[in-house]
A and B are shown apart, each in its own frame.
Chain A
Amino acid sequence: MKGSVIKYERDNIDTDVILPGPYLKIHDYAELATHAMEGLDKDFHKRVKPGDFIVAGKNFGCGSSREHAPIALSYSGIKAVLALSFARIFYRNAVDGAFLLPIEIDESAYKDISDSDSLEVDISKNEIQNLTKNKVYKIKPFPELIGKIIEAGGLFNYKP
């Protein structure tokens, strides 16, 4: 996966800013995507390109169980969120529906990666290459079961 970075230097980016409540009535995923990150960044929709990554701090996706949050990011083109840590329901929703990869990075990678950097993420090697800065970062491997669900393409395709 190759793409460029949209970085938010913030902890606790919650589901209400990822996809604000009033849009939970929308059923069309493409339309949902036009409101992604609207609570934090009104220009996100104009800026995001297919294959982009979000980089953020701790406890990304805290709050509501709305699956609309990872759906809106996914249909905006976001392939993975690289964060210091995730809230559990967001993490689970992202994996279950195969919407995007919730990837945990460490402090040094978080500090080093800048907005607009070009990255290549390889989950088979558990590493990220920063093509702009010519650096390599390790990512926290997915637990075995989660890795298998991701490989299968979500909860419904996963066969134990």
Chain B
Amino acid sequence: MPKTLFEKIWDSHMVVEEDGRSLLYVDRHLVHEVTSPQAFDGLRMNKRTVRRTDLTFATMDHNVPTSDRSLPILDQTSSMQIKALEKNCKEFGITLFDINSPNQGIVHVIGPELGITLPGTTIVCGDSHTSTHGAFGALAFGIGTSDVEHVLATQCIMMEKPKTFEIKIQGKRKNPHAVTAKDIILSIIRKIGTAGGTGTVIEYRGETISELTMEQRMTICNMSIEAGARAGLIAPDEKTYQYLKGRKYSPENYDESVDYWRENLKTDSSAKFDKSFILSAENIVPQVSWGTNPAMTTDVTGTVPFPDEYGRGNPEEQKGAEKALQYMNLKPGMAITDIAIDRVFIGSCTNSRLEDLTEAAKVVQGKQVSAKVRAMVVPGSQLVKKNAEQLGLDKIFKDAGFEWRESGCSMCLGMNPDILAAGERCASTSNRNFEGRQGTGGRTHLVSPVMAAAAAIHGHFIDVRELDLN
């Protein structure tokens, strides 16, 4: 029977399936400091051990400060959580990339970077953006702390089989430097909604996806969860195999692995998906979110919508838009390019990789951050930071007036000192514009790295297609 890529990975990891429940084997378990402490406590309480310490990798990313790492951590509760992870990894024998490791970084940046993320594998992590790893043709999903404990103890997870959802993106973008992967995924979420993918695993396919680099594919898969999907997948290809070659944890018999991946990891041509959505890339323009969920997004050339127009006869949607505009302090009809910005954040597991920083630096080079804006760049990992510094990107950003910081989740979720003050408005390359996400009362506009960089320079959004980014 013809199968989709998801079904192939699912079937090859099935330990047992009966009565609608499936026990799935987990190939890689990524652990961070915030969602793991109670799971380790649970293991201790029940005298259990970690079943596969060789398949479990930990780092600290959510609440680590992004300032000078030679200084002590001032926030005592953060410091305790970080120390708890160190202690737990030591006690249970888990590899940890700690705050001083050259491999420390956001868990979804370091997984691929170290070759821990591999095609055809199953990956879990106590973090919803685990969907990122799907860019490599891995079935990867976020789990809560009870499941983290279950996987630590058993290396398996119990699941109901998700449905399959094909999202096909066709055609060529007219200006791929200005219309980025972030604009593609925001366009998709804007159209299918925040629950459009609920209960499904999305496979992104089509000409546009094939043309994307691995880092761009990660941006797409990363935000699958913002459409409610369990996971996002992209079939691996030569770019995938090239990217993973020679990484720290890539398989030793690499060519043999590639032969296997080539043979086995694609959706059969006659396989059927439960659901399909098709989007043309040709007409996508740079996107800016205006509301308080990622579907509340529009074209940079557009205006802030009128709630009744946005609701299209649905009173709940209309009410949602009214509340969002009130929170965001925006007036319907206002041009997106007239929205003035106080802060800029370039970072997060969505957009903090080397290409993101390279593209943003092109906008920034030789210019100055607007006097009204405070802007920061937070590389996704120590390796990204090092590579960027070798290219001189740190100098470009610092000369323009950006802060150049240490790696971590930072202002994406406001768990460390990098937060917005109440009422501050931020152009952010992160993934969630929920109320208070970046700090109580803070207002988030989700954008691509080039849009964020342009907003930093101009103090407001601009149509980045007008810039020379080649």
Interface residues, chain A, CB within 8 Å of chain B? 9-12, 14, 16-17, 20-22, 24-27, 39-40, 57-59, 62-67, 85, 87-89, 92-93, 96-97, 143-145, 154-156, 160
Contact = CB atoms under 8 A, between A and B. Distances in A.
B230 A67 contact: no
Contacts of B144: 65-67, 89, 92-93, 96-97
Contacts of A9: 316, 319
Interface string B296-336: 00000000000000000000110110010000000000000
B127 interface: yes
Given A64-B128, A89-B128, A154-B146, A25 B77 contact: yes
A9 to B, nearest CB: 7
A58 B295 CA distance: 14
A85 B198 CA distance: 10
Contacts of B353: none
Contacts of B195: 12, 58-59, 62, 85, 87
B194 interface: yes
B228 A59 contact: yes
Contact of B435 (A17, A27, A88, A143): A17
Q: Which of A17, A24, A40, A145 has the most CB of B within 10 A?
A: A24
Interface string B398-423: 00000000000000011100010000
Interface of B: 18-21, 34-35, 37-38, 42, 62-63, 75, 77-78, 80-81, 126-128, 130, 142-147, 149-150, 158, 160, 194-195, 198-199, 225, 228, 230, 293, 316-317, 319-320, 323, 413-415, 419, 432, 434-437, 440
A24 to B, nearest CB: 5
Contacts of B150: 96, 155-156
Contacts of A21: 413-415, 437
A12 B293 contact: yes
A40 B38 CA distance: 26
Contacts of A154: 146
A57 B415 contact: no
Nearest to A39: B436
Contacts of A62: 194-195, 228, 293
A10 B320 contact: yes
A66 B228 contact: no
Contact of A22 (B145, B415, B432): B415
A12 B324 CA distance: 11
Contact of A96 (B62, B75, B147): B147
Contact of A143 (B20, B146, B413): B20
Contact of A155 (B142, B158, B435): B158
Contact of A57 (B19, B42, B75, B316): B316
Given A25-B81, A89-B128, A144-B20, A39 B435 contact: yes
B435 A16 contact: yes
A20 B441 CA distance: 11
Contact of B143 (A20, A25, A65): A65
Nearest to B162: A88
Contacts of A143: 20, 160
